[in-house]
Amino acid sequence: MPHPNRPFVHLIAAARPNFMKVAPLYHALQRDGGFALLFVHTGQHYDKNMSDVFLRELGLPAPDVNLGVGGGSHAEQTAGVMVAYERLCLERRPDWAIVVGDVNSTMACTIAAKKLEIKVAHLEAGLRSFDRTMPEEVNRVVTDALADLLWTPSADGDENLRCEGIPDNRIERVGNIMIDSFEALRSRIAAVDIVARFGCPSGDYGVVTLHRPANVDDRETLGTIVATLGQIADRLPLVFPVHPRTRDRLEQFGLAERLANHSAVLETQPASYVDFMGLVTASRFVITDSGGVQEETTYLGIPCLTLRPNTERPVTVTHGTNRLVSPDDLADAVAQILTGVCDRPSRPPPLWDGRTAERVVASLREVCERAPSSAGFDRAFHGQSL
Ligand code: UD1
């Protein structure tokens, strides 16, 4: 055992939205000093602008281990991560594997760890869109069914887990860790020079992000979205950092040129975290299909139009600025924002306060103290009394 006196923890990141969840926890675990930490990157995202720049801006070191799995079909990617992560666990067996979010690697590492009887904690547990055509929903359901400790961002998460039969003593509401990243970098985000960086007037543009298969993998749907973005850009400029999947599909479907013809749609490479949050903070509204952006706009009170029929983050609609829209309704929804028809105040949900990482560390410490051994943990957390 390399760390006889401290629980040995793997902290696992894989894809762009994971880094802003892992960074605050990495820093909080380091500050605490009570855990031996191995920072693992599965390599699901590998481009510099989808991975390295986020590590750098969020103050994360180079990963201790990069599994280098890369892309592929869902089965190929999931299997690749399972094989590589199992090998790592056999070589450097942790007491706890911490997974975050809902990407393929989250589920793959959970399955590999549980088959080796390693305890798993899931940060951002309990979110449900109830739409199993979304790959992320499958990842969430499987991860939460297997994980030993479930850290949720909001009350709906607790409720969803209870409905799936997860006992209360495995659920802990800790809040939204992405807000920790925003607060840590707030001053650098506020200093982004939007005019110099993106060439549009602060406060007078919209931001667009799109990458979900349901929006970008179908030619007709993506064609409607491109045409509508063109119409909207006749009224005010749109800044559109284009995801690699979306770039591929635009080219494959012959839509890239059509988009480029709208001079007020400003296409950019995927933006870094600080640049992107700077862009969102100074925008008039955001059009997105991302999960995290729905939360960030709610926190900031920026109107958000989500191009999806459902969301696993309902508090962004009930407490925040989020509205679900179809491609056909998008132009009208933007017009309503621009005329102020649907202005409403945003209330960040409880515990979205920049202190989630502290609560996660306290929860992990408490669990490790209560049940330091695996057998003790199983008795305490899987139904048997100690
Ligand atoms: C993945 C996650 C999604 C998350 C998104 C954020 C799953 C099922 N999906 O989707 O939940 O919101 O990340 O981006 O895990 N590619 C590159 N460079 C990269 C990464 C990807 O070129 O660094 C290419 C891949 O080769 C592939 C495409 O982009 O062609 C999609 O990548 P993939 O990781 O499969 O899924 P995302 O759509 O990014």
- The single residue of 41, 211, 243, 262 carrying the catalytic annotation is 211
* Tokens read off for 368: 């490790």
Please name the residue whose Cα sits nearest to atom 17 of ligand 1.
244
CB 205 within 8 A of CB 229: no
DSSP 8-state code for residue 147: -
pLDDT of residue 269: 95
CB 20 within 8 A of CB 184: no
Bridge-partner residues for 100, per DSSP?
123
> Taking the C-alpha atoms of 25, 26, 29 and 33 in order, what is their torsion angle to the nearest 10 degrees?
-170
Angle at 188 between CA 183 and CA 192, to 5 degrees: 125
pLDDT of residue 324: 98
Kindly give the parts of the chain with pLDDT less than 70: 1-4, 342-344, 372-386
pLDDT of residue 375: 61
What is the whole-number distance in angstroms between the Cα of residue 50 and the centre of ligand 1? 9
Q: What is the pTM of this model?
A: 0.94
Ligand 1 lined by 80 (C-beta under 6 Å): no
User: 308 burial class (0-12, 13-18, 19+ CB within 10 angstroms)?
Assistant: buried
pLDDT of residue 385: 37
pLDDT of residue 200: 85
Q: Which atom of ligand 1 is nearest to the CA of 106?
A: 15
Which helix (H) or strand (E) covers residue 273, if one does? Answer: helix 273-281
pLDDT of residue 384: 46
CB 68 within 8 A of CB 76: no
DSSP 8-state code for residue 234: T
C-alpha 145/C-alpha 122 separation (Å) is: 10
pLDDT of residue 162: 98
Bridge-partner residues for 64, per DSSP?
none
- 147: left (phi > 0), else alpha (psi -120 to 50), else beta? beta
What is the whole-number distance in angstroms between the Cα of residue 183 and the centre of ligand 1? 26
